[in-house]
């Protein structure tokens, strides 16, 4: 239909730039929907994997190494761009000088393999999260939406669409729309936000709204009880623990970077053997130390925030090492949630050693600190944890955690794991 009225409406919408918003609205809806489906699938598979380990460990002893190998095999053979977290790949694609990388890292094939590989590893007990993959999945959706609209004659700035997609993915993954926007500002954007703040907000709000329609308005971490006493001693303890957590997060990043480089130096067959051996190691860790020592770490976070029992030191060690071992294999999987769990158990252990009444606030501070050490994004880390718990009484303590963990992590250098990975991606492509 090409009547004068339709033509006038089309011209009016174009003049007012309303049509320019349609790609961002589409990305918000699609990203929110995709991330919700992925979250539900991921959670279900994690529970099934834990149940199988509990009820039939001999089967898992064979199955887990096989799934690790299969997960790496399909990444290597079908979509190498699906390897790892996904956040460094998105960051590389956003840079205009490397926009060609989108054809490697943001295709629908990569999206499909990302989901399949990460789900297989999660079922096998891998220490991975879904948040980094959610960002890459959403950015891949944004890339393909941009292609469709460009073919339809509607010009789209792809880097802005990628940022909006990634921010929407983070918002939908954690149910943290503010965190998604803050992360886009602090870590993803290299342009002045004034140029596209409205469309970024639009995409994130729509993704968040879509996610809440599909799975409800929930808090990622629930409502932990936090002390409202802001004593000097409490803030001092928070500051010390946060510095230490920031250092641990930075150490995690450096060790993981070196392990990945070591694995890449091996032949394909050797890498498959390494993946299988680590799959077997996950079963062994489960047998001796329990389910909280592997998988994504959400159970460990809940244990610190809502259970008053003592935490074993082994859990602190394995919440640090399990994600390292899993992520270095090259399978698809994120380190956001594992970083939060490593920080939570470290903070809980420090409370055990100092003042058990500070268990929750030190757990939250450890989460902020460790994630800051990995991402070097203290504001995002603070906002995410705050938004995931809705604990206004702990705002000042969380701010202290963000500030001091940033100081601690900078002792080991100012580059995050993601920034180092981006440099490696650009050097090899």
Reported as a single tens digit per residue, the pLDDT across 264-318 is 999 999 999 999 999 999 999 999 999 999 999 999 999 999 998 999 999 999 9
CATH fold of the domain at 4-215: Clc chloride channel (1.10.3080)
What does the alpha-carbon distance between residue 306 and residue 329 come to, in Å, rounded to a whole number?
33
**Quick one: pLDDT at residue 16?**
47
Q: Which CATH class is domain 232-428?
A: mainly alpha
The domains of the chain are located at: 4-215, 232-428
**Quick one: pLDDT at residue 103?**
93
**Quick one: pLDDT at residue 1?**
47
**Quick one: pLDDT at residue 2?**
54
Residue segments in the chain with a per-residue pLDDT below the cut of 50? 1, 9, 12-13, 16
Same fold, 4-215 and 232-428: yes
Q: What percent of the chain has pLDDT over 70?
A: 94
**Quick one: pLDDT at residue 339?**
96
């Amino acid at each position: 239909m090409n009547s004068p009225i339709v033509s006038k409406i089309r011209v009016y919408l174009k003049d007012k730039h309303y049509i320019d918003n349609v790609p961002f609205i589409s990305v918000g809806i699609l990203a929110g929907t995709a991330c919700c489906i992925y979250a539900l699938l991921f959670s279900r598979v994690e529970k099934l994997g834990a149940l199988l380990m509990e009820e039939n460990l001999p089967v898992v002893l064979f199955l887990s190494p096989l799934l690790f190998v299969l997960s790496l095999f399909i990444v290597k053979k079908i979509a190498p761009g699906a390897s790892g977290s996904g956040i460094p790949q998105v960051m590389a694609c956003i840079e205009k000088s490397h926009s060609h990388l989108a054809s490697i890292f943001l295709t629908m094939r990569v999206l499909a393999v990302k989901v399949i590989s990460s789900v297989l590893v999660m079922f096998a007990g891998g220490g991975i999260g879904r948040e980094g993959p959610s960002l890459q999945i959403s950015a891949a959706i944004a890339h393909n939406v941009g292609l469709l609209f460009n073919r339809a004659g509607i010009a789209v700035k792809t880097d802005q669409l990628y940022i909006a997609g990634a921010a929407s993915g983070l918002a939908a993954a954690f149910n943290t729309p503010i965190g998604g926007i803050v992360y886009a500002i602090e870590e993803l954007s290299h342009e002045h936000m004034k140029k596209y703040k409205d469309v970024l907000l639009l995409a994130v709000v729509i993704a968040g709204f879509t996610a809440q329609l599909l799975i409800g308005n929930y808090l990622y971490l629930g409502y932990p009880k936090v002390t409202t006493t802001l004593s000097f001693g409490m803030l001092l303890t928070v500051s010390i623990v946060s510095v230490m957590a920031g250092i641990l997060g930075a150490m995690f990043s450096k060790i993981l970077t070196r392990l990945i480089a070591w694995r890449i130096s091996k032949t394909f067959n050797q890498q498959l053997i390494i993946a299988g051996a680590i799959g077997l190691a996950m079963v062994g860790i489960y047998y001796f130390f329990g389910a909280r020592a592997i998988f994504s770490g959400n159970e460990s976070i809940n244990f610190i925030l809502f259970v008053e029992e003592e935490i074993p030191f082994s859990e602190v060690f394995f919440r640090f090492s399990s994600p390292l071992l899993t992520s270095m294999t090259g399978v698809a999987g994120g380190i956001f949630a594992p970083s939060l769990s490593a920080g939570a158990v470290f903070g809980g252990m420090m409370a055990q050693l100092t003042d058990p009444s500070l268990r929750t606030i030190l757990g939250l501070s450890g989460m902020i600190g460790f994630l800051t050490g990995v991402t070097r994004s203290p504001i995002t880390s603070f906002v995410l944890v705050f938004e995931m718990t809705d604990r206004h009484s702990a705002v000042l303590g969380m701010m202290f955690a963000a500030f001091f963990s940033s100081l601690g992590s900078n002792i080991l250098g100012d580059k995050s794991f993601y920034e180092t990975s981006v440099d490696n991606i650009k050097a090899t492509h």
